[in-house]
Structure 1
Amino acid sequence: MENKIELVVSRSKASYKFRADESKPDSFENNWKNNSIDGLALIRENKIIFDCKCQSVANYCFGDMSPGDTVAHGDTIAPGKFTLRCFVEPRKFHGEIHAICDTIDIDGQRINRKAMQTSANGFQNGRWLLHDRYSFKLGRDTNCAWSAGCIIVSSADLEAFNKVLRKNGIKAGDEIRGIIVEI
């Protein structure tokens, strides 16, 4: 990590209040409140060189995406330090994405160097990423960012983020320091 770029995610405590109606179960119809109100900034030598809004709390904790172990949003990356490995293989994701590594989630489970967790049975699960909210089904960004633990930005913001990284010499496999702070 020789570069001088740092990623700072400023998570609003209101982001945890993503249910429109607390009395109803988690669902696409209910988990849209306080969406993408967190800040994401690239900083180089104490200057912000890029910033945008993001979704950093796991609000997609139902259906195909099982809830966390201690709370529904337990797969949310915990406040603190992490490593962002840049320009990783997108697999089924849109655009050029980045892996979130070497950290823990709110449930206290480790996210390893491969951006995954290993279960007690030795199975790897999940993949913590910074990616956009593009839907191949819709052919555009979704109206809300749906996170199962990832940090989500708009397609336009991911493209701009990547341009700034490249302009600053960051290439595939490079790592930058990251931190999530709650405000």
Structure 2
Amino acid sequence: MLLLLVAVTLLGLGAAELSIVNELGARNDRDTEIAFQAAEAALVDAEIDVLGPNTSTSARLCLFDHKDDTAFISDCGGPGANQGLCAPAEAGTTPAWMKADLSPESKTSVAYGTFTGRQYVTGTGATPAALPRYVIEVMRNNGGWDVNRLQNASAGSATKIFRVTAIGFGVRKETQVVLQTNLSKPTVSAGCP
């Protein structure tokens, strides 16, 4: 009888431990999904920043020109309109996005809504612990999206594309998801020189 009681107790403890492990796994999955959604939101915010339509008073649509990359600074710019704009790294070195500071306290990466005026809820309940952030790196367009068009290294008509790297945070800041996309802007925005 005592042996049966010990066996039932061990089974009960095992089931309780399994339940706790499953709960922790589910919580981590939820946290990762929150971070993923926040990173996707940052990509959309960056797309509006680059391509528009952007009616925010802090909009900087004119800085994203497919022919001119002078607004992009090494170490991803600083405060002001150049914030989060990364000049390309030298060939054979670490890409600019890998060196960029994407932490929630960063002064070089762009917090969600900075240049678009959009809002994102953080810090309460099942929401991210911090605003998602992004940087935009200018890159040479090696042929664009047109399969039949290839530009050689000496092409005078070479254009630029923009690589966006976004980070989203989970309920815990330690949970992070990084996503990237490339944006092509073949014409300048309306009202730009």
Using structure 2 for the length normalisation, give the TM-score.
0.27
- Structure that is richer in strand per residue: 1
Instruction: Identify the structure with the greater helix proportion.
Output: 2
Rg larger for = 2
In the superposition, the TM-score normalised over structure 1's length comes to: 0.28
